[in-house]
A and B are shown apart, each in its own frame.
Chain A
């Protein structure tokens, strides 16, 4: 397989490297891909390579427990070094792949910006996404920060001690999580959201409104339909000191945290000539348009895996659960099997004492059912399409979440009329539809 390309590659490197699968991007998707491949008995060499200087770690805590200082960085590490060694996986940190030469059979050589060359027989792109940047005036001031990776989180933590006022730009999941964490740490936090509601289209109207009211009642200053005109330093300084809004209002801010979404890292795929459209376009088996490269996780634009979804509909999901399930699909592909995406997409977001769990995808719903238990602080919205439950947003309501997730996984239904009574356990009214 690919001997011609391999010989060329070997000639170009000074240190002969074991060749096999090269996974570019050592995070949630890349780690799961390597782990799943070994579990399936894949016995070729694996190089798991990433540009960050840290051992692969879990991102979700960066805006939550890690920011608040309630977990140690060591807890975020996916696997021990011994695990990688025992499983014949070469973990390469701190190497950014700038260019790839690839043969028609799928083999080739990846060139790092350091000059290092990594030959491969097969390629996996698990390069994820990067924070979308804001080009507002003053966005290059010190203290104007983003939160996508561990270095971002460390930079934020380093500034938090000296800050009293923080302006968070973007009322999406990451913005709200970070805002809640910073508020809990005693900061005076204002959230600016450009749109008319929180969390964009990831949740329905009722959930967005619930979060708005819940955060405001906990003292978080949230301003909808609001954007920053410029970030300004104190006289003669290089650090941000204030945010000026379009209406002239000036908010003091020693930290501006921007969370306005992410952009998939498609540079390498584009250079390889793979189909790219809001991510690397892959088929149901995580294969890119060349038929050999797999692309997984935040970077992949895939056919909607949910049973019953519109034929031809495509989605790019940004979640831990998707990274894991999609990596499993890719692992099967790389071992010559064809297995479709299993399981129902789910997501979580923890903000202050609000524990949101989402089961399924609410795209295309035509009916919602609200379940509210004010006394116990529970709130759920079930989404229906033509009478069939397709998703649920559940706040502090794990029983509802679990009932909907399990029903969806088994192709069952939870009739809307019966679901409306919050005293009824959803599990008890689930029917085979």
Chain B
């Protein structure tokens, strides 16, 4: 695994006994530090003027995009009205793309939970099994084939391009099975569906593995110490925390899956990319408009989803559980502030990060109405 992927996973705490007292989170979390146009406090007004700009990321971004769009319109070979007229025609193919993405995502999630669970527990002897029990010593050996399969699967998916995976499924099915149609979908559609499902399952499994492994070892010990069995511990402690921790990584995976689905056009599945490049780019001979249309569809859906999910995650977050992943952090920086301010459009309060704030922040900042009520 490359360092980059490792970083995307929530950090795995050491056994809490290993941490020196100062590193251990003991006190209550300080309330989120927010400030905005209507909060007056000399200390928090000294935030640099540039960071105040982040208040207006979204409106500025939208304005820039619209300006660029009309600037393109001033060129001889680009027609704004053509793009607008052809937007409705893209809705059908867009639905096809969304169906492929979402169905494979949901089914993949179920499979990925199993794979992620296996990946999160490399085979080893359960230390709490008693030595005298004969079956204890080698009882874990059966786990090897399972773990080996899961690891091989994930490595294969992450280590090869989706296009290659698609063609392997394509030729494997096309060369062996007679042509068929099932539930209104032709053979090609099913090939694309299966390939995409195989692909997203691998990525989601890794997200879930990361979530499971980032549940603190101390809490699992705490659960054991009150008498919960291993299964109870897994389903009552590990799983509920994992599901919260992976909300944002899985949102990213959905977006990734949506974009990967463009490759289904290689086997002539009539999804968004195929529609745009064939009907608009080739038949109408309007290549620039074709790709601007694609940008509008993809960006519109992905940015909306990303922001809504960030907002939902933030407002429903349990204190002390979960940190934003780097990818979403980046999206947040590009497109405005997240839901901590309950401000979906990023028009109101500014979230001051520790980096922007003047000097170390100790104690509680001046209270605002919307702190910490989540």
A and B are partners in one complex rather than unrelated chains: no
The residues of A with any CB-CB pair to B shorter than 8 Å are none
The residues of B with any CB-CB pair to A shorter than 8 Å are none
